[in-house]
Amino acid sequence: LAHRARALEVVKLPDTMSSSLASPSRASAPPVAANDDRSMSISVMGRIAAGTPIEALQQEVNQISVPMEMLRSGEHYALEVHGDSMIEAGILDGDTAIIQNGATADNGEIVVALVEGHEATLKRLRRKGEMIALEAANQAYETRIFRADQVRVQGRLVGLIRKY
């Protein structure tokens, strides 16, 4: 509406919407509860560094319920993100990363990388010949380059859960 901040006026409802409003006897499907049976409980395996790599943890801290739509085939686990190196990819400190377990990933995918057998980090993977680059999504961090035998992929990011 003119001369009003963020004001809208519904001029005409879509045909499909106006017919459903005209017959109130029609029942619409109830909303699905967030804790229905279409979710799966997966293990939270500790923290993952999105910044300076941290010591890799291999033990379950707790469980988290994840919607089935977020999961792919295979095994999954969750990691709490610690750091700000992936903020330009929308991954913030405190988020929970849902990881599909696996030892392979395509170029450009965000992966859990085990560096030199003891440091785990969440970064974008780039292969360049016999070298692997682990790229941050924050210009404050430099891309780290390793020989292929120094980096082992432990899974790839398939989902993200954020608490507000």
Closest Cα partner for 79 from 121, 108, 38? 121
What is the average pLDDT across 76-86? Answer: 93
Query: Which tokens belong to 128?
Result: 């360049």
Query: Which tokens belong to 92?
Result: 């913030």
pLDDT tens string 12-36: 776 665 544 554 444 444 554 555 5
- Of 68 and 54, more confident: 68
Looking at residue 3, its pLDDT comes to: 73
Query: Which tokens belong to 160?
Result: 């993200």
Q: Which of 41, 85, 128, 163 is catalytic?
A: 85
Exposed, middle or buried, 157 (CB in 10 Å: 0-12/13-18/19+)?
buried
pLDDT tens string 101-135: 999 999 999 999 999 888 889 999 999 899 999 99
> Is 85 a catalytic site residue?
yes
Q: What does pTM read for this prediction?
A: 0.72
Distance CA 135, CA 151 (A): 13
Torsion of CA 19, 20, 26, 27, to 10 degrees: 170
Distance CA 147, CA 130 (A): 6
Strands 76-82 and 39-49 come out as parallel
Confidence of residue 37 (pLDDT cuts 50, 70, 90): low
> Is 128 a catalytic site residue?
no
